[in-house]
Amino acid sequence: MININTFIKIPNTQIDNLNEILENPTKYFVDIDNVKEIKKYKQNLDLDYLDGVITIKYYDQLIMDYSLWDLVDQLWSYFINLIEDVIQTGYGVTYFPDQPIKVEMKVVSKDLILFTVDEGRITSVTVPMQGFINALLSSAENFFNRLTSYFGKDINISYELNKVKSIRKQFN
């Protein structure tokens, strides 16, 4: 029902055509869970500017696709803050790190959240709050744990992982 994946942009691949990304995403991105492929590109990844994409699909509706790539580690950090705001106040808004893409989450009932991505065209979907927030937190946690397993001491994401744990305690 809710499918969230993170992909890392393959180093030294030039993106000139967003339609090409949608038609052939594996030419540009590798799944964060694909250990073999990530290790192949590991030496050439810039951990200060880690490009990638978060895809979000709710049933058959694609909410965020490959064309919305950016600094993926920062985007996950922004999403964690967004989730925290929603849990504390019922509303949160953030922007992509390097693009004017607005992401909003708003509690619309006891069980539902309105999730909106505005990147020129607006995509909004009402999703079950519990399932969506838990899926986002699990995907963020998986992403940061994968980074730790790939890069060890070269990267410090303990703050993000601790924040995910803290949010889980508040939410569940």
- Stretches in the chain below the pLDDT threshold 50: none
Phi, psi of 78 (to 5 degrees): -65, -40
| Three state DSSP letters for 12-60 | CCCCCCHHHHHHCHHHCEEECCCHHHHHHHHHHCCCCCCEEEEEEEECC
* C-alpha torsion sign, points 97, 86, 88, 131: negative
Q: Residues 46-69: pLDDT tens digits?
A: 998 999 999 999 999 999 999 999
Cα–Cα distance, 126 to 123 (Å, whole number): 10
- pTM of structure: 0.95
Residue 67: give the domain boundaries.
2-171
Q: How many domains does the chain have?
A: 1
pLDDT at position 121, please?
87
How many C-beta neighbours within 10 Å does residue 89 have? 10
Q: Residues 24-36: pLDDT tens digits?
A: 999 999 999 999 9
pLDDT at position 152, please?
87
pLDDT at position 52, please?
97
